[in-house]
A and B are shown apart, each in its own frame.
Chain A
């Protein structure tokens, strides 16, 4: 399981300057994306999933946002230290993104094929004509009927699912090494969701693209991912393979998340639990463990010191940021 690391994120911190104070949206986040892997990032709304991934490509808008610390290594290069010029040659070509809401993420006044062709012309030096032909080919590939005619349409003439397909065509047009999909199905109907996930899965596997799949839906994780990071209040609280997370979750928050989804083999007298309480205010993070106010197992130490990430059984890919698991952590 020692696959090549394609993206190495370490100590990432991103904050927003607001009228109320500084929002610590991403707070010391580290993870690796391995070659060919699909890595899930799960967590409640507002826990910093999107901001983490915008930070990777320096897409956080300043002001109010600012990346204050950390590094993002891609091909041994720290993207956070790249010039604007350099990062533009990475964006869309080597690392591409699909966004949460396909309606607002496509430009309403530009034809669909033009929006797909832009990256092709820029990164692959295609002529307008070649790029249009390629855009139509991509539209066919992702299952848009009458692609030739539809290419000349504008985004509002497409349904939600179709728009997200267009986003996928756009993102995969230049065969990126890494695809970051930010809740690609959240805004869609359940039936369409499955189709979109299927397309992402097939295309990324076929092209050996590594995927970061952001979601708050554990079903998507089970369906798509090899490994998972669970985020809470701007931090990663647990890191595991999908099987480990589903069969042996360690962090009280992960356990809570898993208990809140229905399972087919669930005993009928077992109730569904949602985690009580609300996520903390990222401006005034409580001292110690950020999950403490909602944690049923909180101890004295939890109020005093924020738990570091303990690796379980010496496995670097299996970590938990919780004092309960300090003893399972073996140094070395």
Chain B
């Protein structure tokens, strides 16, 4: 297992190298350079002044040289400074990352807590009205965009200020209760669509598992319905749900970045949008590199959880 984890983490290197290459050149392909955005349309500058500014922005060398310099820096953990504020990029990002991660995992948690039980219930009452209702609701939840749901919730709940705090953000460590209350609606609007996905996967997987021979064996032992479902069926039915959850953490993180903006939460969302508008290349690059790392690590964690849940999977196998 240790060897497997080490191997997977090692595979981060080529992934991150590829990502760095793509993002570095991609941000520079967005029309409008950092300097142009800085100058705006109002200010006139002489060519000498422009040259001076370009050097100040650190963009005066051929792009390939710039890339190798940047790569050399980040290998040493130096992600550079913002073109606008001149402050180091990393601390600013790290201050906002926890909120976005919390939103992602809170929404993931809500999606599972809503989706799995509904999926089980739906499978046990297959083709009843309740099953039909939850499937239709699920489809609806799936087709509503997260930001739209978020906006709707802001409007709907703005009257309940006492109930759901909307004011200044506090972190999980300062005041956990207030923090969770604040993040509940944003997380719900991010996670509800995924809850629908989880529900459908759980339902279909349960329906398939309940047909299996070992379920009949469990019943033949005289086990109660509850043990048959929660011990024998769910342990098998949950496996595809784990896989689909792993695939979707990225989708949820993306949702978090958008929804933060609607709820005016100081996460990575605001920072990313600002950085893209201003073409603040070092910030964009750093954020993308960090998100790529998170992706790989989340995939690794998913695979480990899957292997723990399914004894037939051996992580050290060469096949995987």
List chain A positions with a Cβ less than 8 A from chain B.
54, 57, 59, 61, 84, 88-93, 96-97, 99, 101, 104-110, 118-119, 122-123, 154, 156, 167, 170
Contact = CB atoms under 8 A, between A and B. Distances in A.
Contacts of A106: 214, 217
A91 B232 contact: no
Given A99-B213, A156-B311, A156-B312, A107 B222 contact: no
Contacts of B133: none
B312 A107 contact: no
A8 B307 CA distance: 48
A84 B225 contact: yes
Contacts of A93: 222
A29 to B, nearest CB: 20
Interface string B236-259: 100100000000000000000000
A122 B311 contact: no
B219 interface: yes
Given A54-B216, A154-B311, A107 B221 contact: no
21 contacts: A54-B216, A88-B222, A91-B222, A96-B220, A97-B220, A99-B213, A99-B220, A104-B212, A105-B214, A105-B217, A107-B217, A107-B218, A108-B236, A108-B310, A109-B236, A109-B309, A118-B223, A119-B222, A122-B223, A156-B311, A170-B221
B224 interface: yes
Interface of B: 211-214, 216-225, 227, 231-232, 235-236, 239, 309-312
Given A88-B223, A96-B220, A119-B222, A109 B235 contact: yes
A106 B212 CA distance: 10
A92 B214 contact: no
Contact of A104 (B214, B218, B312): B214
B222 A123 contact: yes
Contacts of A84: 225
A99 B223 CA distance: 17
Nearest to B225: A84
B217 A110 contact: no
Contacts of A107: 214, 217-218, 232, 235-236
B221 A119 contact: yes
Given A91-B219, A107-B235, A170-B217, 5 more contacts: A88-B224, A91-B222, A99-B216, A99-B220, A105-B217
B105 to A, nearest CB: 25
B221 A110 contact: no
Contact of A122 (B211, B219, B221, B236): B221
B216 A122 contact: no
Given A110-B235, A123-B222, A101 B312 contact: no
A89 B214 contact: no
Contacts of A167: 217
A12 B236 CA distance: 34
Contact of B232 (A54, A90, A110): A110
B306 to A, nearest CB: 11
Given A154-B312, A156-B311, A91 B236 contact: no
Contacts of B222: 88-93, 119, 122-123
A181 to B, nearest CB: 12
Contacts of B227: 118
Contacts of B224: 88
A320 B310 CA distance: 51
Contacts of B219: 59, 91
B86 to A, nearest CB: 56
Interface centre among B214, B227, B309, B310 (most CB of A within 10 A): B214
A203 B297 CA distance: 53
Contacts of B212: 104
Interface centre among B211, B213, B225 (most CB of A within 10 A): B213
A323 B312 CA distance: 55
Contacts of B221: 91-92, 96, 118-119, 122, 170
A223 B67 CA distance: 80
A16 B231 CA distance: 28
Interface centre among B212, B214, B222, B225 (most CB of A within 10 A): B222
A161 B211 CA distance: 24
Contacts of A109: 235-236, 239, 309-312
A73 B7 CA distance: 62
Contacts of B235: 107, 109-110
Contacts of A96: 220-221
Contacts of A119: 221-222
